[in-house]
Amino acid sequence: MSSHVVSNTNVMLGRSIRHVTRSMDTIITVTIMPIAFMLLFRYVFGGAIQTGTDNYTNYLMPGILLIAIASGISYTGFRLFNDMQSGIFERFHSMPIARSSVLWGHVLTSVVSNAISVVVIIGVGLIMGFRTSAGVLAWLAVVGILALFTLALTWVAMIAGLAASSPDGASAFSYPLVFLPFVSSAFVPTDTMPGPVKAFAEHQPVTSIVNTIRALFEQQPVGNDIWVALGWCAGILLVAYAFAMRAYHRKIA
């Protein structure tokens, strides 16, 4: 990426960040739902769920973080759709700036805003009893996986924001993603699920990501889960990026 593109992207990032800080209710909304799920499963369902661990909050945390990210990227698609409808993209394209920087500004804003939500949720989790023995390297690995997961889903959001015909359509795509952790190892072991559900849960991306983050938090061996998780995230990212850029070039052609 050339210095020209980096400079333009920084400008677009600053613009998008200012929009987010002027409307902090988006970050608040994104954090409320995952925290509500965490409270519900910890204090209502937790006593009836057998996970083989004494600290159910520890078991919950990875899935809750993924739900927060899946919820947060819906606002990215919504903001992009609004920019497309307002005509601001045409104004940007009349200026001597890198065209890809407009999209990257939205993408990096998603990473920043979701990182804030993740930090808030971990803080609430600590109050609820979340504890981890993870060292610096394990935490860096968790941060890297969450950042890659955020980037992958954000580029999916770019496709929705570019292709949608209404604000609801730009954000509605995230609903299945929010509920995908419920059919995974995020809340209960997959061994407790019926055959077909278990097969789906064990072969969808959330389970490998949750298992990897949980193992890193507990300083346990991650096994092959980390490679499966990285493969899913990288694959989704590359495919979504290609389709998003193709849709973007069609829009601005």
Give pLDDT, residue 164: 74
Q: Show the tokens assigned to 99.
A: 């065209």
| Predicted local distance difference test score (pLDDT) of residue 226 | 93
Taking alpha carbons only, the member of 25, 33, 109, 27 closest to residue 64 is: 33
> Residue type for 183, please?
V
| Per-residue model confidence (pLDDT) at position 234 | 95
Task: Report whether 76 contacts 110 (CB < 8 A).
Answer: yes
Low-confidence stretches of the chain (pLDDT < 70) are: 1-6, 8-9, 11-17, 19-27, 86-100, 252-253
What pLDDT, in 10s, does the model give residues 209-226? 999 999 999 999 988 999
Q: How many residues does the chain have?
A: 253
**What's residue 197's pLDDT?**
92
| pLDDT number for residue 32 | 86
The pLDDT value given to residue 228: 94
Q: Are 170 and 164 in contact (CB under 8 A)?
A: yes
Number of C-beta neighbours around residue 189 at 10 A:
15
Q: Which pLDDT value is given to residue 104?
A: 82
Q: What is the pLDDT of residue 15?
A: 66
The total of other beta-carbon atoms located within 10 Å of residue 57's CB is 21
The predicted structure's pLDDT at residue 174: 75
Task: Choose among 186, 173, 185: nearest CA to 64.
Answer: 186
